[in-house]
């Protein structure tokens, strides 16, 4: 009743992709954490291209639109996503020292890992606390993003009348949604198969260890169908969602055939990334871990494609789990998705962003 007097307005998550905005707010209830507000709006092409904002003004109008269209939204504080493909993430090893000294030393050391001078980037660091560091060194995860990429996001959010509270990369946010209580006892691959971008990351212990992106996205599947069947993009999109890799009936067989080469390319790219990750010199906490990673969590709207995870699993000889985007939320959170036409997969990043206020 006295919402206006509420001194803890919380925050909400805003996943900003090239063509879509997604919003999630989470509140604590008797049964645990619940999604209290959820929405999605599409944007025309050209406002953001490959994670770079081209039109701050227009983006701010779409942010205003999603906020005004979302019922039950009770906060103006935003935790927003930043594009994976523009970020740098490294786990580095440092000698044990006080937190203040470590912060300074990390900045100095980071220069060796980031291909830009430090005054051009925002730098974030997180001490890896799980598994507990052994010996006299600690591992620190550093994330960097170019200021010229980040600043327009902040401007657009402010222009929309909101207050940016925090920004983080998509895979960082997604991991908060997907990893039960934030701890993974075994290393796990995470793949976000989105409309225009696909990210590949590795999570272990209490944080990400590696992040990269894959240049095959779900939109490529749509375009391949359009080209093979001679339909326009919108019709091809419908066929993609209807058939996927079912391979049944005349049209179903044509659709499966059309996207076959894209699936092969996606599998080859994932394989390449896995091989690269496996061959990298391992940091301390992972050195003794010789066992191969055999679990992959697959999410993002594109992961809904019929039989795609089965096909990838077969090709990669890996256990591919359809990720559970509401694993850290109450069971009731499922209901909000079943009541609407939205699917949890596509909201993974937005859920992770909204969860931030309960974790840090």
List of residues contacting ligand ATP (CB under 6 A): 17-20, 194-197, 217-219, 237, 240-241, 244, 300-302, 304-305, 346
Distance CA 243, CA 259 (A): 11
Cβ count within 10 A of residue 117: 8
Closest approach of ligand ATP to the CB of residue 240, in Å: 5
Distance CA 10, CA 7 (A): 9
Q: Which is nearer to Mg ion, 11 or 17 (CB)?
A: 17
Closest approach of Mg ion to the CB of residue 28, in Å: 26
Q: Which of 12, 13, 17, 270 binds Mg ion (CB under 5 A)?
A: 17
Interface stretch with Mg ion, choices 14-22, 95-103, 262-270, 306-314 (CB under 5 A):
14-22
Cβ count within 10 A of residue 311: 21
| DSSP classification of residue 288 | T
Distance CA 119, CA 146 (A): 9
Check residue 302 for interaction with Mg ion (CB under 5 A).
no
Distance CA 83, CA 272 (A): 21
Helix segments in 1-159, DSSP class H: 56-69, 99-110, 147-159
Asked if residues 164 and 240 have their Cβ atoms less than 8 Å apart, the reply is: no
Q: Which is nearer to Mg ion, 134 or 241 (CB)?
A: 241
Q: Which is nearer to Mg ion, 51 or 194 (CB)?
A: 194
Closest approach of ligand ATP to the CB of residue 270, in Å: 16
Q: Which is nearer to ligand ATP, 142 or 190 (CB)?
A: 190
301 binds, among ligand ATP, Mg ion, none (CB under 5 to 8 A by kind): ligand ATP
Cα Rg of the chain (Å, integer) = 21
Check residue 194 for interaction with Mg ion (CB under 5 A).
yes
Q: Which is nearer to ligand ATP, 11 or 217 (CB)?
A: 217
Distance CA 240, CA 331 (A): 30
Site of tokens 């095959």: 216
Q: Which is nearer to ligand ATP, 34 or 199 (CB)?
A: 199
141 binds, among Mg ion, ligand ATP, none (CB under 5 to 8 A by kind): none
Q: Which is nearer to ligand ATP, 207 or 214 (CB)?
A: 214
Closest approach of ligand ATP to the CB of residue 241, in Å: 4
Closest approach of ligand ATP to the CB of residue 17, in Å: 3
Q: Which is nearer to ligand ATP, 240 or 356 (CB)?
A: 240
Closest approach of Mg ion to the CB of residue 14, in Å: 12
Distance CA 178, CA 180 (A): 6
The beta strands (E) that lie in the chain are given as 12-16, 20-29, 32-42, 48-49, 52-53, 77-82, 87-95, 121-127, 137-146, 163-169, 184-193, 198-205, 207-214, 295-299, 319-322
Residue 148 CA: distances (Å) to CA of 9, 23, 152, 168, 329 = 30, 24, 7, 15, 35
Asked if residues 200 and 214 have their Cβ atoms less than 8 Å apart, the reply is: yes
Closest approach of ligand ATP to the CB of residue 322, in Å: 12
237 binds, among ligand ATP, Mg ion, none (CB under 5 to 8 A by kind): ligand ATP
20 binds, among ligand ATP, Mg ion, none (CB under 5 to 8 A by kind): ligand ATP
Q: Which is nearer to Mg ion, 102 or 190 (CB)?
A: 190
Closest approach of ligand ATP to the CB of residue 301, in Å: 2
Residue nearest to ligand ATP (CB): 301
Residue nearest to Mg ion (CB): 194
Closest approach of ligand ATP to the CB of residue 195, in Å: 4
Asked if residues 124 and 143 have their Cβ atoms less than 8 Å apart, the reply is: yes
Binding region for Mg ion (CB under 5 A): 17, 194
């Amino acid at each position: 009743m006295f919402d206006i007097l509420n001194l803890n307005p919380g925050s909400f998550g805003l996943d900003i992709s090239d063509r879509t905005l997604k919003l999630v707010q989470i509140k604590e209830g008797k049964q645990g954490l619940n999604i209290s507000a959820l929405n999605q709006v599409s944007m025309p092409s050209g406002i953001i291209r490959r994670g770079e904002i081209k039109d701050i003004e227009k983006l701010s109008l779409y942010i205003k639109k999603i906020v005004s269209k979302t019922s039950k939204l009770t906060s103006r504080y935003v935790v927003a996503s930043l594009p994976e493909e523009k970020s740098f993430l490294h786990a580095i090893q440092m000698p044990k020292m006080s937190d203040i000294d470590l912060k300074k030393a990390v900045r100095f050391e980071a220069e060796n890992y980031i291909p830009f001078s430090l005054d051009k980037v925002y730098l974030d660091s997180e001490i890896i606390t799980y598994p507990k560091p052994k010996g006299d060194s600690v591992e620190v995860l550093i994330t960097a993003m170019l200021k010229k990429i980040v600043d327009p996001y902040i401007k657009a959010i402010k222009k929309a009348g909101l207050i940016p509270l925090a920004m983080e990369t998509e895979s960082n946010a997604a991991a908060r949604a997907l990893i039960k209580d934030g701890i993974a006892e075994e290393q796990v691959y995470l793949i976000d198969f989105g409309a225009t971008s696909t990210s590949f990351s590795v999570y272990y212990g209490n944080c990400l260890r590696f992040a990269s992106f894959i240049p095959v996205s779900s939109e490529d599947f749509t375009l391949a169908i359009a080209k093979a069947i001679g339909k326009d993009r919108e019709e091809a999109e419908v066929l993609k969602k209807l058939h996927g890799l079912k391979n049944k009936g005349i049209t179903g067989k044509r659709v499966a055939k059309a996207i076959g080469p894209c699936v092969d390319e996606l599998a080859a790219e994932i394989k390449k990334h896995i091989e690269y990750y496996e061959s990298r010199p391992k940091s301390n906490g992972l050195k003794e871990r010789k066992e191969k990673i055999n679990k992959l969590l697959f999410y993002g709207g594109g992961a809904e494609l019929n039989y795609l995870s089965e096909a990838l699993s077969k090709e990669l000889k890996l256990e591919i789990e359809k990720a559970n985007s509401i694993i850290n939320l109450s069971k009731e959170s499922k209901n909000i998705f079943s009541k609407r036409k939205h699917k949890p997969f596509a909201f993974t990043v937005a859920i992770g962003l909204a969860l931030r206020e309960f974790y840090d």
